[in-house]
Structure 1
Amino acid sequence: MVVSNVRFNLVQPGLATEELAERYRAAVEMAAAADGSGVDTITLEEHHGADDGWLPSPLALAGLMLGRTRRIGVTVCALITPLYDPLRLAEDLAVLDLAGGGRLMAVAGIGYRPQEYAAHGRDWHARGKLQDESLETLLAAWSGEPFEHRERTVRVTPPPATRPHPLLLVGGASKAAARRAARLGLPFFPSAHLPELEEYYHAMRAEYGTEGWCLLPPATTALLHITEDPDRAWAEYGKHLLHEAAVYAGWQTPETRSAVKSAAATAEELRAEGVYRMLTPDECVAFAEEQGPGAALVLHPLCGGMPVDEGWRSLHLFTERVLPRLKD
């Protein structure tokens, strides 16, 4: 079975308002097109204060996309939960769960950029404690019953539609994240293919006596752009892929473990790495078949400020000339 995913982070170098507005509107329409074409999921990201406008408000965009679709799942990966007021976050996720029919999945991440914490008035050194409070508050709030929060009794309404609570995973690449997920009985989503961390998570579940499961990324994760002519596309649009790769790499430390990590300094180097791939429809089908059962295809149609019309071409090739062949 192939899992198909369309990814958006709405990067727009230069932050031109008209181009940003066009990009956001296109993303919502692309979500609707993906929904009607049988794509499995949409993935949104979260970052703050980026010079290129990297999506800071994934829940607002998720709401727009859920409203324009009927069956496709929408995942926020990752939601930087310590930056939110936990009661407001519980309310927002409950409303999205109700309006979206349970199609929203949130991966709770702790973040890795101290400047994002500083901008939101959060203590970077207390991020573990903040994450614990956030997750514990969400689970208590979604019960619909009164509970103690910061020395007062509160109650969050309405309760979400999904019981016992909306789909919430704990993301991360540390043993602390795996322990946190195991202790709370939440699923765990490592940030990269880390089977040793999956094993540790299950060991901790056994110790805590909790239920749960692990969504382990595949050994090979590639961000895809579908084109009839990869050579021409790399020459013309490779700069957009390189922009995103360079920005993302600049945020990470040498110890960061990520499913998508590049050291490329040029578009040619980026192409050789294979993290970002421009493929023909035939090459994309072959790539899926090489991965075997459980293959994951991640289309990134608006990557790094990719022109909207080129993003549409990529999406149409993917839904019309790749997915039907894989389903057959």
Structure 2
Amino acid sequence: MGGQDKGLLHYQGRAMVSHVIDAILPQVDDLYISANRHIEKYQTFSYPVITDNLANFQGPLSGILSVMQQVKSAYLLTVPCDNPLISAQLRQRLMEALLATGSDIAVAHDGTQLQPVFALIPLRLKQSLSEFLASGQRKTRDWLYQHKVVEVDFSDQADFFININSPDELTLKPEIRSTKPLLGFAAFSGTGKTTLLTKLIPALKDRNIRVAVIKHAHHNFDIDKPGKDSYQIREAGAEEMIIASDKMMALMKKNHDDLIEPELQPLIQRLDTRTIDLILVEGFKHERFPKIELNRTELGTPTLYKDDPHIIAVASDNAIASDGMPFMLDINHIPAMVDFIEQFIFSWKS
């Protein structure tokens, strides 16, 4: 990157480290940033910034040791700043493997190679790491394998391990990653995406398919009501507000004015995918993930599939010259659309 600080380079409109923070924050109790330059810029992310105690920038292990020397937690989960896509199951899988095998350290393996900086390390190994660095050694892998290491299989999520190592990669919009089948509906305004969803979801439920929905709103909206206690608390300045009852829970987080349009990837990572079989997405048509295009003849809008290779089918109320489209659906025939979605789920799993 020409000597630039990768964590601060903009990816998808914001600093790369902010993507990492969003992905890892739900998985940890406390978060720390290890950095040795541009300290003030890293401090603007509102998390403690810890610099290396050893001089001359002695590599990732030096940063890990410096954090181990200042925190009280029993374990340290480490991730790099140049990997904006991180599995929402990283901590869970590493900890489960550690406990199941009685190992000292758990490290991610993407099915092809070890990912040594994606690791769960107990702080009881702090002295071992200090002695290793004092001996003049620096290689992360060499220190890890001085201990009992369990390599945790993430081959089913290999695409989450994508380092950004060149300026060209910074501008490439990645495909959306999800551990559960993900299917969107792309259409122009007025096509009836929401109306269709309200028909599809009960039909999918009748086939025992549990659905989560992510919807993009193009305008200011609020799910809370003026006058309610929660509304007053949030308006008083709370950055995040959770309302919970025995029936449901809602999290409201204020987006600041200088933020760009919401991104689909971090929203997916907020879902509890253990309770669902399928994620349906309304909007986000410019993101790279499988979609069904919705088209109604009366609107006279152009088709989208020719410019989006991720559109896997077109649902319309009239025949369309397919020009190589893989599948055509009748937008008014819900059972046929559910059949197609069910086959999509099956093909995703296989």
TM-score of the aligned structures, taking structure 1 as reference length: 0.23
Q: Compare relative contact order (CA 8 Å, sep 6+) and give the higher one, 1 or 2.
A: 1
Using the size of structure 2 for normalisation, the TM-score is 0.22
Bigger proportion of residues as strand? 2
